Amino acid sequence: MKTEDTSEGQFVGYLSINEYLLDQEWQQQPLRFMEIATQAVESRRDAEQARIARDVQWGDLCRAARECPEKFGIGKVTEGQITEVVTRHPEMVKAEQAVVAAQYQQQMLDRMVQAMEHKKRALENLVTLYGMAYFSGRSDDVKSRTEAVDAQQAMKARAAEALKERRNDELE
């Protein structure tokens, strides 16, 4: 099973914390962590399969170049000539691109697993601070639960938009 394309904006919702709904955040944390960890394991498998496919492609193309060098435009069959021709072959380029894409996917999901571990520590610290009444204040300053959820959703939307803009700027 191939893992889906991973972009930074895809996981913004996983990393944000609604401090007004810590009980729900704690309940969702292990499920989200397991989802991301599973995707990370699958991406490692996909990256390894892409590397194997690339190596098989390399072997097949090298063998074909030795058996029929004129098809590959090789005059004198030397290892250097075979390596040069096979490296530039469109099928080999495609296989290399697949490896790079799989490695990127793997690295992004590995970083996401680390980020989920950071979120767990952040949740622990928030619960500790709330337990010490760190955030207590006047009762008229406290937002209603609905306002808190709306504010959290607006924050997620702004973060996703900022990430999207940053990616667009990088592509330009």
Q: What is the pLDDT of residues 44-74, one digit of tens each?
A: 999 999 999 999 999 999 999 999 999 988 8
Average pLDDT, the chain: 85
What's the whole-number mean pLDDT along residues 106-133?
91
- Three-class DSSP category at 15: helix
Distance CA 171, CA 115 (A): 24
| pLDDT band at residue 14 using 50, 70 and 90 as cut-offs | confident
Of 5 and 106, the structure prediction assigns the larger pLDDT to 106
Per-residue pLDDT at 11 exceeds 80: no
Cβ burial 50-75 (10 Å sphere, 16+ → b, else e): beeebeebbeebbeebeeebeebebe
Distance CA 111, CA 172 (A): 25
pTM: 0.67
What's the whole-number mean pLDDT along residues 146-160?
79
